[in-house]
Structure 1
């Protein structure tokens, strides 16, 4: 089940497009409505972070099959300034945008796996967040 589709995040409408793609693909894979909502919320948060902090980037959604079970992988990539203090960003309630601070810790809770790689080094700046959800 090889499938990957990406949405470039340039403006706020792209956040909506990424959410819609995530909902469509998660429904096709067989996720229930609660997990579809979790996935679209996670995508929304990741895309909004790209828009707010990096300016541009992309959200890629990939169907996965492993040992007879189906799932979805979301990859959020940007070449923004990078995250200076990953530990701080992963604390509940931490916000730089004045939001609720659910952010990345919220994404981690909504999904089954969560991996964050970020660089602030000149010439290699950017962040890649990879997260997965499996059909129950």
Structure 2
């Protein structure tokens, strides 16, 4: 069983590909359709952010197991410009693209765990996990 699969994010089709990968892994792990939708929405948002703000990067989907409990981990990373003010981008309603996306606060709400590390001119790494209930 493959525990990790990564998709390089270079164009919009890669966002579609990593969404599909995430949905398939979520289904394999036994997540219901509502949680599958939450996971694919989070993946979409993270991949789109890489595409829009960093130009390129990758999103990895991993199967996690903690005390026998399965989960799905998303690791989104890029070598882009980084995020100057993480607190600000984590505010609801904050947007730089003018879009109606859920943004990073939405990703945090959709998932059970959320962690973000970013350095200016070095890039950003976001890890989000959803546990099977």
1:92 aligns to what?
A: 92
Pick from 87, 104, 124 the counterpart of residue 127 of structure 1. 124
1:28 aligns to what?
A: 28
The one-character-per-residue Cα deviations of 1:76-132 (angstroms, maximum 9, x if unpaired) are 000000000101000000000001252000000000000000000x5xx10000010
Q: Does 1:82 align with 2:79?
A: no
Q: Is the 8 A contact 1:94 1:101 kept in 2?
A: no
Q: Is the 8 A contact 2:8 2:14 kept in 1?
A: yes
TM-score of the superposition, structure 2-length normalised? 0.97
Alpha-carbon RMSD:
1.0
Q: Is the 8 A contact 2:8 2:58 kept in 1?
A: yes
TM-score of the superposition, structure 1-length normalised? 0.95
Q: Is the 8 A contact 2:60 2:75 kept in 1?
A: yes
How far is 1:66 from its partner? Answer: 1.0
Give every structure 1 segment of 4 or more consecutive aligned residues whose post-TM-superposition deviation is greater than 3 Å.
Answer: none
1:103 aligns to what?
A: 103
- Long gaps (5+) in structure 2: none
